[in-house]
Amino acid sequence: MTTRAGHQPTPEGEAAVDAGGRVSRVSVTPVAFRDPPLLNVVGVHQPFVLRAIVQVHTDAGLVGLGETYADRAHLQRLEAVAAALPGLDAFDLNGLRRVVVAALGASTGGAGASFGGMLDLSSAVDTVAAPFEVALLDLQGRVLGRPVSDLLGGAVRERVPYSAYLFYKWAGHPGRDDDPWGEGRTPEQMVAQARRMVDDYGFGAIKLKGGVYEPRHEIETVEALAAAFPGHALRIDPNGAWTVETSVEVAGRLSGVLEYLEDPTPGIDGMAAVARQSDLPLATNMCVIAFDHLKPAVAADAVQVVLSDHHLWGGLRRSALLGGICETFGMGLSMHSNSHLGVSLAAMTHLAAAIPNLTYACDTHYPWKAEEVIRPGVLEFREGSVAVPTGPGLGVELDEDALAALHEQYVTCGQRGREDTAYMRTVVPGFTPNTARW
Ligand SMILES: O=C([O-])C(=O)C[C@H](O)[C@@H](O)C(=O)[O-]
Ligand SMILES: [Mg+2]
């Protein structure tokens, strides 16, 4: 097949075009939803999370959904792709990639870009393509009357387990008293936070976001969680807050307590040095976040578990490819999250259902949010897991009124990017990220 300028259907593509239609219009709607002041290595979550909802319309009258970040520079890239997509066959995922590469032009590298200092944008093509790929898969599923998990090879599990994602946190955003979670600082408070999540959602795995306090305090928190939740799988993720030496010490102390230790120290070399001196599996969503990073990480035996994230790895099919690579090199696979809405939760659930070697409970920030853009009823947590939607495509429907309300909130909230460090400095002047601090 040759490159299709203007996306004219080739004869062999005709049947698919007839069935699924061609992209006629694409909208990218930035939204904002309220978020508690969750602490991490670079600062604290702002009052709102920004997300973009992608709607891909076809001339057959169907709409596919995707969701991604909505930081200003990312939005501009999404808009460039959205403008170039009309005419594309809804089944032409390779064509989508060509459109993204062409639309981004010189800005495909993305080196140095990041979302609030938490996530380096290693591959702009993958990150920008992802929500459109999800939307096209949603469309394909709607055409075929099959769930997205079937398009990824078929669900190997009916339910996808997720983990409770604990955060140290302030009692509330400054000047507001509407935070239903309260302060999260002491081990007792963190056990109470976990209790609420486990009671409400039934989670069987618990992840603690660390990198906030000195390691001794965070170890005590993990030990309190282990005592309070025997039999639960535990993880801590300090996002590279520790030196190699500290990481080895903590790994020794928590060996037998944790199922894996996530990003204790920055970089592939640092992780490899820890791995050589520890028997705890090391997981990452920081030093391996794009296909380019796999070869050096495997060569150095730096990580034992890769945390996939379709938003960063180019969508659902490339994340499934990542699963195959992890299997080849004997690495485990888990799933990372950032604050997200239901379109992403649906996509994550289909993906996790269809990857046989994704054997850990996936991360999700879902319990922290109180607002939504999809209609209720499909994505329910029971016993810590979400049933894989069985309806066509992603299996979720947009609530247009809710989308409009959260878009209005985006317009008025004043935030245009994720700025955890800057927000922290409004309360703690001079704060510097805790990377490799201890
Ligand atoms: O596993 C991780 O590193 C994350 O979940 C990254 C996120 O940005 C998290 O740290 C957060 O929400 O602050
Ligand atoms: Mg992490």
CA of 118 to the centre of ligand 1 (A): 7
The answer on 144 and 98 residing in a single domain is yes
Q: Give the domain-ending residue among 102, 127, 149.
A: 149
**Domain total for the chain?**
2
Residue 400 alpha carbon to ligand 2 centre in Å: 33
Ligand 1 pocket residue status of 209, Cβ below 6 Å: yes
What's residue 217's pLDDT?
98
Q: What is the sign of the dihedral through the CA atoms of 56, 59, 63 and 64? A: negative
Task: Please tell me the number of Cα atoms within 13 Å of 371 on its side-chain side.
Answer: 20
423 within domain boundaries: no
pTM of the model: 0.94
Same domain, 34 and 110: yes
CATH number, residue 95: 3.30.390.10
Q: Which of 149, 168, 196 is the last residue before a domain boundary? A: 149
Q: Which atom of ligand 1 is nearest to the CA of 207?
A: 1
Contact 118, 42 (CB under 8 A): yes
283 within 8 A of 305, measured Cβ to Cβ: yes
Identify the CA nearest to 309 among candidates 113, 122, 31, 79: 122
Residue with tokens 């904002």: 32
Domain carrying residue 116: 5-149
Same domain, 130 and 166: no
Atom of ligand 1 nearest to the CA of 116: 8
The number of the ligand 1 atom at minimal distance from the alpha carbon of 42 is 13
Same domain, 367 and 225: yes
Structure confidence at residue 104 (pLDDT)? 87
Give which of 37, 16, 63 is closest to 212, Cα–Cα.
37
Does residue 227 lie within any of the structural domains? yes
Secondary structure (3-state) at 56: strand
Looking at the domain assignment, is residue 429 inside a domain?
no
Residue 144 token pair: 């075929």
Other Cβ atoms less than 10 A from the Cβ of 422: the count is 15
- CATH code (residue 223): 3.20.20.120
Q: Which residues carry out catalysis?
A: 209, 336
Atom of ligand 1 nearest to the CA of 336: 1
Does residue 343 sit in the same domain as residue 198?
Answer: yes
Structure-token pair, residue 1 = 């097949």
Ligand 2 center–CA 225 separation, angstroms: 19
Could you tell me the distance, in angstroms and rounded to a whole number, from the CA of residue 435 to the centre of ligand 1? 14
Judge whether 427 lies within some domain. no
Ligand positioned closest to the Cα atom of 336 = 1
Q: Relative to the alpha carbon of 365, which ligand is closest?
A: 1
- Indicate whether 352 and 387 sit together in one domain: yes
Check residue 383 and give left, alpha or beta (phi > 0: left; psi -120 to 50: alpha): left
ipTM: 0.99
Whether residues 230 and 84 fall in one domain: no
Q: What is the mean pLDDT of each run of 10 residues along the chain (438 residues)?
A: 43 51 96 98 98 96 97 94 97 96 71 51 84 98 97 98 98 95 98 98 98 98 98 98 98 97 98 98 96 96 98 97 98 98 98 97 97 96 98 98 98 97 97 97
In this structure, the answer to whether residues 172 and 220 fall within a common structural domain is: yes
Helix (H) or strand (E) holding 332: strand 332-335
Whether residues 180 and 282 share a domain: the answer is yes
pLDDT at 124: 87
Nearest to 193 by CA among 28, 23, 377, 38: 38
Domain assignment present for 419: no
Q: Is 34 in the pocket of ligand 1 (CB under 6 A)?
A: no
Q: Using a 6 Å cutoff on CB, does residue 285 contact ligand 1?
A: yes
Domain check: are 112 and 225 in the same one? Answer: no
- The SS3 of residue 367 is helix
Return the H-helix or E-strand segment holding 73: helix 72-84
What is the CB neighbour count within 10 angstroms for residue 76? Answer: 12
- Is ligand 1 within 6 A of the CB of residue 35? no
